Structure 1
């Protein structure tokens, strides 16, 4: 089972009510068992919603926070969404996840720096960080081809 950001599959769950449909990814996964999720919606955030970015680091350790452009602290919603995503992943035997790059929930390796200027910094989104801690392999739509052999070997 592969966990996939729902927005990458064409679900309109992005902060702005649109999606990030990735046809190449959809084609690759067409015969695989996938589990689509939107951690932000699982955290009970609405769609659409104001954009959010991580300010600081280590949100799960309470050393950083997730703020939206309205100045609201939405950290708890992001943590709840990450925990719900992990719960679903564990219940469904997920070993691999393909998540939305740069997202404050799903980004892996690079995320926006919290200044809302489009500046990237090293780091993981809240959900990606939690999944990695539980030894779930996390890729993004930008690097999922690195996992192609692993994905091809997963049961259908």
Structure 2
């Protein structure tokens, strides 16, 4: 079974209340090969919600207690919710015996390799989102929707 970001399946769980529908990911769900999750909702966040970014680090540093997840308001610290969502996402991955995940690129929860840089101006920096980092630490291979060709090639689906 494949764990996938719910927004990629057309579920309106994106911070602004919309989604990031990707037809290839939706097809995996429709074929019964995927289970959708939204780490931010699993952490207790509402939809819609304020956009958040990781400040002074990435998901690895958040999990290690050295970086924070905040909104544009300095007092809007949701680090705890992001960690909770990552843990709940990992629980689901283990429950379905997921070996791979397809997550939303650049997201502070789901991004892999590159995430938004914490300035809220569209800049990017190297790193993983909080949930992606926790999945990787637990041996789950993570792809983004931008790596679907590689995903299908490596997983023979």
TM-score, normalisation: structure 2: 0.93
Partner-residue secondary structure (3-state), 1:3: strand
Correspondent of 1:106 among 106, 110, 118: 110
> 1:112-127, aligned counterparts within 5 Å?
112-127=116-131
Which residue of structure 1 aligns with residue 66 of structure 2? Answer: 63
Q: Aligned partners of 2:73 and 2:42: how far apart in 1?
A: 21
Q: 8 Å contact 2:3–2:36 — kept in the other structure?
A: yes
Instruction: Report the Cα offset of residue 32 of structure 1.
Output: 4.3
Which residue of structure 2 aligns with residue 35 of structure 1? Answer: 35
Which residue of structure 1 aligns with residue 81 of structure 2? Answer: 77
TM-score, normalisation: structure 1: 0.93
Instruction: Report the Cα offset of residue 25 of structure 1.
Output: 2.8
Which residue of structure 2 aligns with residue 132 of structure 1? Answer: 136
Partner-residue secondary structure (3-state), 1:142: helix
Q: Aligned partners of 2:142 and 2:56: how far apart in 1?
A: 21
* Uncovered stretches (5+) of structure 2, i.e. residues with no partner: none
